[in-house]
Amino acid sequence: MNVISKKINGLRGEIVIPPDKSVSHRAALFSLLTQGTVEIENFSLGQDCLTSLDLIQKLGAEVERTCERSFKITAPKYLKAPSKPLYCGNSGTTTRLISGILAGQKFSSTLTGDESLSKRPMKRIITPLAQMGAKIKHSDFRLPLEFQGSDLDGIYYKSPLASAQVKSCVLLAGLFANGETSFEEPYISRDHTELMLQYLGADIIRNKTRVYIKKSNLVCRPLTVVGDISSAAFFIAAALITPNSDITIKNVGLNPTRTGIIDVLKQMGGEIEILNQHKISGEEVGDIRVKYSELKGTTVSGEIIPRLIDEIPVLALVATQANSETIIKDAQDLKNKETDRISATAKVLNEIGGDITPTDDGFIIRGKTELKGGVSVDSFKDHRIAMTEYVAGLISKENIEIKDFEWVNISFPEFEGMIERLKQ
């Protein structure tokens, strides 16, 4: 499905942002380990999160939908051996997190995925799991992954990258391992796993960049998922660079390990205000008001990168509208996403009139440039690239046609409709 994005006169009004995908994944997968019933409110209906719900059912959970975004999950006493391979679709989060669970089971299982997911590297999780004693067959460290039933032992693992998915995989395996498992990373990556495991009663301790966990039984507690800051980022970006814009985004998760995009945009001169801040199920949440702003370039690197890694494509777009140069570096992990997001982002932004040079670990972006549009661009079957392209069309001189826009449904099926409601 191809979609046309057109120049507008501004964005105004209020929206309630959809549920956080990272938290939704964890709510579903962790509920599987409680041996009881967990009620989840405000669950994401993006395809990736529905994939996690589907997989826990294949492992023995009962899933009852109680209203549009609410589910009741009853875990089995013992996980059930799946009768056929578990299909993870396009969801890297599902794959990497559930690998930590499957690695410590007594039965064998296999994970598969779609064409895009099957190309993504899994060595970062296979290496620590193998050190714990997991027996995993793989195809050059890619899907399919075949897990043979095995006993795990706790390890100390020092990760070369700050990665929430790798950390979560190892911590989940640690729930089934003998002794203590500890994970250390160079910077603190998003910590939804640690917060939710604490909330559900796991024996887990955090000490700066290191986390310790022991074999634990999780307890049943209700979970409410906060709004997704990664989804909100596209609206924040759109309002900042589209003249005459003034919007408020309600119910946004403000976990400090995820708010790097807000910190950087404020540093660039963005007029962003946080309102009504409070906590839900252990997570910070609040409303964000954003107005069109004159922006200046900046340098983005180091420990803030894990706090905004998913938002970098749209941040690069914003940088094309900032006065002076923006440099983004230390973001080499972008090459391991749904596509090589360094290459894809640079290609697309240059095609529509930006001035961006890709580097091995990021970009050099020279602003301010007029985005000309008037082109048909490839989404690269990547939802974040597609949404970045759509936001670009809102300020481009001519229309932008986006190919295969349906990939946005993986994470944010409501995206286009919410933009339409705010258009002036």
Q: What is the mean pLDDT of residues 65-78?
A: 96
Q: Other CB atoms closer than 10 Å to residue 346's CB: what's the count? A: 22
Do residues 52 and 28 lie in contact, with contact meaning Cβ atoms separated by under 8 Å? Answer: yes
Region of poorest pLDDT, from 53-57, 255-259, 278-282, 361-365: 278-282
Q: Label residue 395 by pLDDT band (50, 70, 90).
A: very high
Element holding 419 (H helix, E strand): helix 415-422
Handedness of CA 148, 154, 156, 162 (dihedral sign): positive
Q: What is the mean pLDDT of the chain?
A: 96
Q: Residue 11 has which token pair?
A: 């964005």
Q: What is the mean pLDDT of residues 37-44?
A: 97
For residue 277, pLDDT beyond 80: yes
Q: Other CB atoms closer than 10 Å to residue 14's CB: what's the count? A: 12
Q: What is the mean pLDDT of residues 241-247?
A: 98
Q: What is the mean pLDDT of residues 180-196?
A: 96
Residue pLDDT, tens place only, 320-341: 999 999 999 999 989 888 789 9
Q: Label residue 149 by pLDDT band (50, 70, 90).
A: confident
For residue 411, pLDDT beyond 80: no
Q: What is the spatial distance between Cα 331 and Cα 339, in angstroms, rounded to a whole number?
A: 14
Q: What is the mean pLDDT of residues 275-298?
A: 96
Percent of the chain with pLDDT over 70: 100
Which of these, 124, 172, 138, lies nearest to 335 by C-alpha position? 124
Q: Which of 20, 48, 287, 310 is catalytic?
A: 310
For residue 382, pLDDT beyond 90: yes
Q: Residue 393 has which token pair?
A: 């069309």
Element holding 139 (H helix, E strand): strand 135-139
Q: Label residue 234 by pLDDT band (50, 70, 90).
A: very high
Alpha helices in 13-163 (DSSP H): 21-31, 47-58, 92-102, 115-118, 123-131
For residue 184, pLDDT beyond 80: yes
Helices (H), strands (E): how many in the chain? 13, 23
Q: Label residue 185 by pLDDT band (50, 70, 90).
A: very high
Residue pLDDT, tens place only, 191-228: 999 999 999 999 999 999 999 999 999 999 999 999 99
Q: What is the spatial distance between Cα 153 and Cα 377, in angstroms, rounded to a whole number?
A: 49
Q: What is the mean pLDDT of residues 72-100?
A: 97
Residue pLDDT, tens place only, 95-110: 999 999 999 999 999 9
Q: 340 an active-site residue?
A: no
- Which pLDDT does position 410 carry in this prediction? 77
Q: What is the mean pLDDT of residues 282-310?
A: 96
Q: What is the mean pLDDT of residues 261-275?
A: 98
* Domains of the chain, first to last: 3-19+226-422 (3.65.10.10), 21-224 (3.65.10.10)
Which of these, 379, 311, 381, 344, lies nearest to 114 by C-alpha position? 381
Percent of the chain with pLDDT over 90: 94
* φ, ψ (nearest 5 deg) of residue 266: -65, -40
Q: Residue 176 has which token pair?
A: 């089934």
- Which pLDDT does position 338 carry in this prediction? 78
- Which pLDDT does position 282 carry in this prediction? 86
Q: Label residue 117 by pLDDT band (50, 70, 90).
A: very high
Q: What is the mean pLDDT of residues 301-330?
A: 96
Which of these, 214, 220, 189, lies nearest to 202 by C-alpha position? 214
Q: Label residue 63 by pLDDT band (50, 70, 90).
A: very high
Element holding 193 (H helix, E strand): helix 192-199
b/e sequence 168-181, b meaning 16+ C-beta within 10 Å: bbbbbbbbbbeebb
Q: What is the spatial distance between Cα 218 and Cα 355, in angstroms, rounded to a whole number?
A: 51
- Which pLDDT does position 409 carry in this prediction? 85
**First and final C-alpha spacing in the chain:** 25
